[in-house]
Amino acid sequence: MKAKDLPQSIDLPFGYKEWREKIERMIETAKFNAALHVNTDLLQLYWNIGNDILIKQKNEGWGSLVVDQLSADLGRKFPDDKGYSVRNLYYMRRFAEAYPDFPILQVPLAEFQDKPILPSTLKELTTEDKTVNIPLTVISWFHHISLLPKIVDISERAFYILEASRNGWSRDVMLNKYATDYMNSVGKTISNFKTTLPSPQSDLAKYSFRDPYVFNFLGTMALQHEKDIENRLAEKVTEFLLEMGRGFSYIGRQYKIVVDGEYYYMDILMYHVRLHCYVVVELKAVEFIPEFVSKLNFYISAVDEYIKGPDDNPTIGLLLCRDKSNTKAEFALRGITQPMGIAKYETEKLFNEVASALPTIEDIEKIIEDSENIPEKD
C-alpha cells in the first residue's frame, strides 16, 4: 500500500509522533552533513588547484598565460563544469594564498579582543597556544570569493565567516551585513543585562542585540508615524527577522494584554529561541527620552506575569528609537531590575541625503541678497 492510499484517520501507537520527529531530524541532519561534505570537497579541490598554480608561478616562474591555457584545457576536458574560468582560477590562487593552513584560518587570540564574539564560542575555537582556529568549510565558495577582495583584515574576515555560518546567511545577505557595518553594531546596545541576567545568559543576550538596527527595506520613512513603521515591519516580517538576527521569532504587533481589566497594546512581541524568553519591542519614531523606559518596564512585568511560561526565562525589553543619547540611556536604566536594552534604528537614508543636498533658507536668502547687490551694467 502506498502512503497516499493510507486512510485519513488511523490509530497510531503511543509515542509515534515523537519517533517520527526523531526520524525526520535524522534525515535533516544527514542532508545537512551531506551538503557540508560536498562543500568541503569543492573547497579542498579549489584550494589544491590554487596552491598548484601558486607553486608553479613562484617556484618555476610560470607566467599568467599558463592560467589562460589551463582554463581553456579544463573547459574542453570538463565541458559541463563552469568553475574553471580564468577568473575563477585566479580566485583559487588567491584563496590558497590567503589560507595556507586550509581547512582552517589561524588567527592570534589577541586580534579578537575587540570583536563581538561570544566568549564561549571563542573558548571552543582557541588552542593552547592562544590561536583561534576558524573552520573555512562552514561557508560556500561564493561566500569566500566575495569576502576576499572586500576585507583585508584577517580577524574581521574571520568574524564574518563565523557569523555567516552561525546565522545561515546567503552571500548577498552577508555582503549586506558587511555594507551596513554589522560587526561594529553587535553587542553595542545600551543595556542592563549584566546586572539583571545570570551568566552566561547575560553574554548571550548582549550579543543577540545590536545598535543600530538598519531597516533600509522600509524605504524612506523619516516623516512617518511609528504605527506606519510597525505596519511595514509586519508586512516585511522576513526582512525584519533577518535584521534582528538568528533566534528571533515574530509573534505579532499591537499585541493585546489585559492588566487589571484594562487593555494595553505592545508594539511588537517576539520570542527568542536561544535565550528562551519573550522579547517586548517598543518602537519610537522620535529621539529617546527617559520616560520611555517606564512604559517598557510595565510591559515586561505584564508579560512575565500573564504570558511567560514556567520554562521561559525572564522577558527582555528592547526599546528602538530614531536616535538616542547613550548617557541618557545609561542613566535611565540605573536601578531598573528588568532586563532591557536601548538602541536606535535607521531606515532608508535617501531622504536625509536629499535633504542635506538642498539649500537651506539661509542659503536662499543669501543668494537673493547677493543678487540684489550686484551693480547694474551700463
Rounded CA separation 158/224 (Å): 39
Percent of the chain with pLDDT over 90: 66
Query: Do 298 and 257 form a contact (C-beta atoms < 8 A)?
Result: no
Contacts of 228 (CB under 8 A, 6+ apart): 221
- Look at residues 212, 252, 214 and name the one whose alpha carbon lies nearest to residue 231: 252
pLDDT at residue number 36: 63
Which pLDDT band, with edges at 50, 70 and 90, does 13 fall under?
confident
Q: What's the CA gap between 308 and 140, in Å, rounded? A: 39
Q: How far apart are CA 307 and CA 277, in angstroms?
A: 11
pLDDT reading at 73 higher than 50: yes
pLDDT score recorded for residue 220: 63
Q: What's the rounded Cα separation, in Å, for the pair 318 and 250? A: 14
Nearest-angstrom CA–CA distance, 292 and 342: 10
On the CB side of 81, how many CA atoms lie within 13 Å of its CA? Answer: 15
Amino acid letter, residue 190: I
Q: Is the pLDDT of residue 276 over 90?
A: yes
At residue 362, the pLDDT reads 53
Using the predicted structure, report yes or no on whether residue 221 has a pLDDT greater than 70.
no
- Please give the grid coordinates belonging to residue 277: 524568553
Distance set, CA 321 to CA 213, 226, 285 (Å): 10, 10, 6
Gap between the Cα atoms of 237 and 244, Å rounded: 10
- Looking at per-residue pLDDT, the higher value among 229 and 138 belongs to 138
| Over residues 153-172, mean pLDDT | 94
What cell was used for 240? 525584519
Q: What is the mean pLDDT of residues 90-99?
A: 96
In angstroms, the CA 24 to CA 198 distance is: 35
Percent of the chain with pLDDT over 70: 85
Angle at the Cα of 189 from the Cα atoms of 184 and 192, rounded to 5 degrees:
145
Lowest mean pLDDT among 10-14, 177-181, 213-217, 273-277: 10-14
Tens digit of each residue's pLDDT (9 = 90 or more) over 362-378: 554 555 555 455 444 44
Q: Using the predicted structure, report yes or no on whether residue 352 has a pLDDT greater than 50.
A: no
Question: Distance (Å, rounded) from C-alpha 332 to C-alpha 293?
Answer: 7
pTM of full prediction above 0.75: yes
For residue 340, give the 3-state DSSP assignment: strand
Cell of 259: 492588566
For the stretch 48-57, contacts whose Cβ atoms lie closer than 8 Å and that sit 24 or more positions apart, written own/partner, are: 48/96, 49/89, 49/92, 49/96, 50/89, 50/91, 50/92, 50/93, 50/94, 50/95, 50/96, 50/97, 51/96, 53/89, 53/92, 53/93, 53/96, 54/93, 54/96, 54/97, 57/93
Residues sharing a CB contact under 8 Å with residue 372, sequence separation 6 or more, in sequence order: none
Residue 111 DSSP label: G
* Residue 2 pLDDT: 53
DSSP conformation letters of 42-94: HHHHHHHHHHHHHHHHHHS---THHHHHHHHHHHHH-TT----SHHHHHHHHH
Amino acid 351: pLDDT = 41
Summarize the confidence of residues 23-49 as an average pLDDT. Answer: 80
pLDDT digits (tens, 9 = 90+) for 117-134: 999 999 999 999 999 999
